[in-house]
Structure 1
Amino acid sequence: MQSTRAPTEAEKSGRWSGRNADKDRLRHEIWQGLEDSGMNIGPVWSRISNWVGADEAAKRLSELEIWKRAKVVKCNPDPPQIPVRLRALYDGKTVLMPVPEFGTGDLPWVLLDPEVLEKDGVQFELAATSVGAVQVGQKLSFEDLPPIDLAVCGCVAVTRAGGRTGKGGGFADLELGLFRDLGKIDTQTPIVTTVHSSMVVDDDRLPVMEHDSLLNWIVTEKEVIETTPTGPQPGGVNWDLLQPDQLEDIWFLKDLKEKILAQKAG
């Protein structure tokens, strides 16, 4: 049963509001629309919200050739992507999942190997949840991750030109920038998302910043969209554009920044 408690204004504004007014307004509109339509599952505000039809979108994604070719799938830890992680495990794929918001001091990544899980008697349905994955998966650093064949991002709003925004914390763009710096993805690695159809908005509604990674594919409960990006993907992390709170709050980031910059300089 869903909670009947009305969200506070602070919750509606979002934990990371204030960084981009246009994106703040759009996220608010999307979250309000999900709540008003009853298409949400569970809480809506200030998160990658779950929605009715997420399992159908995951099924559509699993039918694409980019999915069938992928052996290692990176997937965000949020509820609407549980069906994506579950399908990946049943399809025999290695799943990489970040600890939600990169955790607070343990290694920030979890690797789920379906063969190991099956050998250990771990149900895929448990491992596909974020809590279960952290419990049963192998913990890894960014540097120790294997190369990624398909990157799945959680989104609040997207465009057919490949624009995206998440909940506003900047985790996905930081993550993808670090992947590029560390050679875990390249220009050919598909970046995809599964979203509710109401989250697909007109291109001009969603400003694209220079550090924003672009989606190659969008999959909803109704359709599959191969996007038409108008520009290239960004390179690695632009450290000058990083939010000060990100560098302070993400526990491993200062050390990883030093390693990356030293590697580039050497």
Structure 2
Amino acid sequence: MTDGDKGARWVGRHADKDTLRRDVWSRLERDGANIGPVWSAIPNFAGADLAAKRLSELPAWRRAAVIKCNPDPPQIPVRLRALYDGKTVFAPVPELRTGTPFVKLDPVRLKAEGIQFELAAVSQGFLRHGEPVEFEDMPYLPFCVVGCVAVSRAGGRTGKGAGFADLELGIFRELGKVDADTVIATTVHSSQVVPEDRIPMQAHDSALHAIATEADLIRVDGAARQPAGVDWDQVKPDQFASIPFLSALRERLERR
């Protein structure tokens, strides 16, 4: 299997980003920094727990009573630390595959019901024990963690190519759940930090304010202008086909 074949699931939306993702996935495997498979995924990496600890050192993390965190394996330590810090965690259903897009993890409820935070922090656990939540029913989100394949010190990012993170954030902005004061952050391996010119940022892409690695905490000064909402013209037919609630949500948003 060639590198191109291994990364083919979401390939074809942006050639430069496709090449970048292949380079990052290959480097993680070559250097032995990956944990488990990386291709077509937000890659898990050695030191993810250290990166989560560094992220928790941000003043914005300490202030936030609520965080949104992506559902991928490298962010398990982020979700776990948030629960132990007493924060309510909202996590999307992986790849938004069900009719209800998010689940809510309330550490008080989990503790009262005897559900270990270590179980609730993994995707199988939060799908079983989390409370289903619609976009419209979520609170304001002061701190959002997104999954990334590559990032730059200027706040550029790209995910695995499916566009889920930017779509989520665009919907949150249209609903007033995310605004200019919301911190957008990620945890990655230091080898996933690439030169700024390798990540072409488009109008619908959301920039990062903070990047935590196993070796460093990067604060982005003057992050790029964020999109105002969803650019529905950029949403692909396969996204409408594979995300069950998306068409109905668009209709509700357009009626607002």
TM-score, normalised relative to structure 1: 0.94
Secondary structure, aligned partner of 1:87: helix
Distance 1:11-1:142 versus aligned 2 partners, 3 A rule: farther
Distance in structure 1 (CA, Å) of the matches to 2:101 and 2:218: 31
Where in structure 2 are the equivalents of 1:51-66 lying within 5 Å? 51-66=45-60
1:145-194: CA deviations, max 9, x gaps? 11111000000000111110000000000000000011111111000000
Pairing 1:75–2:69 present: yes
The answer (yes or no) to whether the contact 1:178–1:236 under 8 Å persists in 2 is yes
Deviation at 1:199, TM superposition (A): 0.5
Moved more, 249-258 or 22-31: 249-258
Matched with 1:157 is 150
Deviation at 1:76, TM superposition (A): 0.3
Secondary structure, aligned partner of 1:96: strand
Pairing 1:114–2:107 present: yes
Matched with 2:200 is 207
Distance in structure 1 (CA, Å) of the matches to 2:98 and 2:120: 21
Matched with 1:50 is 44
Amino acid at match of 2:171: L
Amino acid at match of 1:208: M
Matched with 2:97 is 103
Counterpart of 1:146 (choices 124, 131, 139) is 139
Counterpart of 2:178 (choices 185, 190, 210) is 185
Distance in structure 2 (CA, Å) of the matches to 1:182 and 1:134: 24
Counterpart of 2:85 (choices 77, 84, 91) is 91
* Stretches of structure 2 lacking an aligned partner (at least 5 in a row): none
Secondary structure, aligned partner of 2:136: coil
Distance in structure 2 (CA, Å) of the matches to 1:175 and 1:191: 12
The answer (yes or no) to whether the contact 1:76–1:153 under 8 Å persists in 2 is yes
Secondary structure, aligned partner of 2:229: coil
Number of residues paired by the alignment?
256
The answer (yes or no) to whether the contact 1:214–1:229 under 8 Å persists in 2 is no
User: Which contiguous aligned blocks of 4+ residues in structure 1 show a shift greater than 6 angstroms?
Assistant: none
1:21-63: CA deviations, max 9, x gaps? 0000000000000001111101111000100000000001111
Matched with 1:216 is 209
Distance in structure 2 (CA, Å) of the matches to 1:61 and 1:13: 29
Matched with 2:250 is 257
Amino acid at match of 2:75: Q
Deviation at 1:82, TM superposition (A): 0.2
Say what the alpha-carbon RMSD is for the aligned residues: 1.2
The answer (yes or no) to whether the contact 2:189–2:214 under 8 Å persists in 1 is yes
Matched with 2:129 is 136
Moved more, 225-234 or 46-55: 225-234
Secondary structure, aligned partner of 1:74: strand
Distance in structure 2 (CA, Å) of the matches to 1:173 and 1:73: 16
Deviation at 1:10, TM superposition (A): 6.1
Distance in structure 2 (CA, Å) of the matches to 1:104 and 1:120: 25
The answer (yes or no) to whether the contact 1:11–1:46 under 8 Å persists in 2 is no
Deviation at 1:247, TM superposition (A): 1.7
Matched with 2:11 is 17
Distance in structure 2 (CA, Å) of the matches to 1:54 and 1:183: 31
Paired-residue identity, %: 59
